[in-house]
Chain A
Amino acid sequence: MISLIREKIKSLSSSEEISLFLKHKRGMAGLILLSFMLFIALTADFIAPKRFDEVDPSSRLLPPSTANIFGTDQLGRDVFSRVVFGARIALWVGLLVVVIEAGIGVPLGLVAGYYGGSIDKLISAITDMLWAFPPIILALAIVTILGPGLTNVVIAVSVVSWAPYTRVVRAKTQSIMSREFIIAARAVGESSLSIMFRYVLPNTLSSVIVLATLTIPSAILYTTALSFLGFGAQPPTPDWGAMLNEGKDYIFKAPWCSVFPGLFITLTALSFNLLGDALRDVLDPKLRLG
């Protein structure tokens, strides 16, 4: 799998797609914004003036100042430090959800598109049903069963939103199946598994990359929403959604506790949306998510 991605990246860099992407202003803006988020996530230990769970009862709910540029929360914790550490959680969660989603959705799409017939009908029916159902409700139901916690939220969100991967990969697989190189591979007796993973999968990869970039924002939005409701990350985890959950009780006294985490959720989601739109324009302009 990793060698496939490496091959794909190699083929990309040699093509004109890179130069097309470099000309895509919004895509570049997204990339810069994302690099910024990655940078603060990776260097959180150095950037943050304090630890995210460092309580200081003497300086509670202080407005932004030179000492605490984003102010402090109800326990006297530095909001800026918490937001910076939160970037780590958000990006990690987004990545994790997307990997699980792709892990479920891509193989199902491959199988449905490759075999067709009743397997395809069954998989498509499940996908359609899942697609129609409101993901937050389903995720809530799962969290109710599993109990609160960030890991459970990640599981719940991934389990309810892999449907787009199956749909896209299935459609791609169907169109690839009629191509000569697949017919040739079959003719020389390649096994189904080998055809699916060595011939079909690489050709769906650019769509999957676009899709993954575009589903990270919704993964982050869903997990923070669940954390906001109190089902996700538990205190003192500096999850942005959990911070908003705690901050909303002090929204009028200390709006900065709520403003900054939300702003960072928006910026992170925005960076992926901009990047994803650009990747779609460049790699797979016909890709439809709706």
Chain B
Amino acid sequence: MGLLTYVLKKFLIGIPVIFGVTIILFYIMYTLPGDPIKLLLAGERVTPARIEELRRAWGLDQPVYIQYFYWLSHIVRGDLGVSIVTKEPVALLISQRLPYTLTLMLISTLLSYSIGVLAGLITALKRGTLIDGFVSIVGVINYSIPGFWFGLMLMLSFGYYLQLLPISGYEGPHSLVLPALSLALPSSAYVMRLTRAEMVEVLNEDYIRTARAKGLNKRRVLLVHALRNAMIPVVVMFFLNMPWLIGGAVVIETLFALPGMGRLLYVSIIRQDYAVVQGIVLIITVLTVVFNTLGDVVVAVLDPRIRVERGGGL
């Protein structure tokens, strides 16, 4: 089995997962209190006959599984329904907001990874020294700070006292600096811990001693032999962490009033705009599956033990 087959297989596994989530999502929305027709009419006075007519027109008189397939067929065509509040198509709303969220996630991931990997490597290589102790303690503290409170403090210091960066709303790319920092802080600490743990473990491996016994210089031992192995879980975490960042983005975007998908989710929950909530959760599910699959694929590319080699092994 080659790499390509492996990748295809991994992607195919993702499909039933997405499918399963759509069933759960539909069922949750179906059982939610509140009659969708009444929400649709938004207090408009109509006759019961008219309600019945609308019910039939929307297919709400059908059994639940028919309704599900009806809904699913729309989703497959990219029709996520219409927002009850703004009457705009959900797909449009999401597609307008998603770029902000993805940009935010990307910036904060780059930030947290550059800081986290660097700090993790330093602490691993200087294990047991004062630097290690200091950076590790800073790491635990960062890990304990709630991102939203850190965001508030950044707002207060950089936005209000120093007046360096915008406090809320989106005025341009610099509006993403503080939100990205708030989102990056806890995950940088996580990346640091992971990098340190992996590196410390790899440096104790027998093959590192072999590399040294070969007469390779320190740099080559570290880069070609240690780092190459230690980075596999760290790179994979890069992908697995992405969906988790979306969760953080909801809180941070709401705090900084950014026009991203996270804030849209928050606003829609408050407004009981369930079609939008449903659409966003679906998108997040798809993104989660995609990122997880990418993670699996990257492991397979980086770690030859995961793939099964062509030709027989002895």
Contact = CB atoms under 8 A, between A and B. Distances in A.
Report if A and B touch in the complex (beta carbons < 8 A).
yes
Interface of A: 26, 129, 132-137, 140-141, 144-145, 217, 221, 224-225, 228-231, 244, 248, 251-252, 255, 258-259, 261-262, 265-267, 269-270, 273-274, 277, 290
A224 to B, nearest CB: 6
B146 A137 contact: no
Interface string B227-269: 0000001000100100111111011001100000000011001
A136 B233 contact: no
Contacts of B148: 225, 228, 244
B3 interface: no
Interface stretch (B51-59, B150-158, B169-177): B150-158
A5 B289 CA distance: 39
Contact of B285 (A133, A267, A269): A133
B199 interface: no
Contacts, number: 105
Contacts of A251: 152, 155-156, 160
B58 to A, nearest CB: 22
18 contacts: A134-B243, A134-B245, A134-B247, A134-B284, A140-B250, A144-B277, A145-B31, A145-B32, A221-B146, A225-B148, A244-B152, A252-B156, A266-B144, A269-B143, A269-B146, A270-B140, A270-B141, A273-B143
B288 A133 contact: yes
Contact of B28 (A141, A225, A244, A269): A141
Contacts of A230: 270
B292 interface: yes
A4 B287 CA distance: 43
B137 interface: yes
B137 A26 contact: yes
B145 interface: yes
A255 B233 CA distance: 40
Interface size class of B (residues with CB under 8 A): 35 or more
B75 to A, nearest CB: 17
B144 A258 contact: no
A252 B160 contact: yes
Contacts of A141: 28, 277, 281
Given A228-B148, A244-B148, A265-B149, A136 B269 contact: no
A259 B150 CA distance: 10
A259 B140 contact: no
Contact of A265 (B137, B146, B284, B289): B146
Given A229-B251, A266-B141, A290-B237, A137 B156 contact: no
Given A134-B284, A140-B265, 9 more contacts: A26-B140, A132-B288, A136-B250, A137-B250, A141-B277, A217-B143, A228-B251, A265-B146, A273-B143
A140 B237 contact: no
B109 to A, nearest CB: 14
B146 A132 contact: no
Contacts of A144: 269, 277
Contacts of B23: none
Interface string B23-50: 0000010011000000000000000000
B301 interface: no
A225 B143 contact: no
Closest 9 pairs (CB-CB, A-B): A136-B247, A262-B149, A134-B247, A269-B144, A270-B144, A134-B243, A266-B145, A132-B292, A134-B244
Interface string B271-290: 00000010001001100110
A262 B149 CA distance: 6
Contacts of B141: 266, 270
Contacts of A248: 152, 255
A229 B265 CA distance: 12
B194 interface: yes
A18 B196 CA distance: 26
Given A217-B144, A270-B141, A137 B246 contact: yes
Contact of A132 (B243, B250, B254, B270): B243
B12 interface: no
B160 A137 contact: no
B223 interface: no
B17 interface: yes
Nearest to A30: B140
A262 B17 CA distance: 38
A136 B248 contact: yes
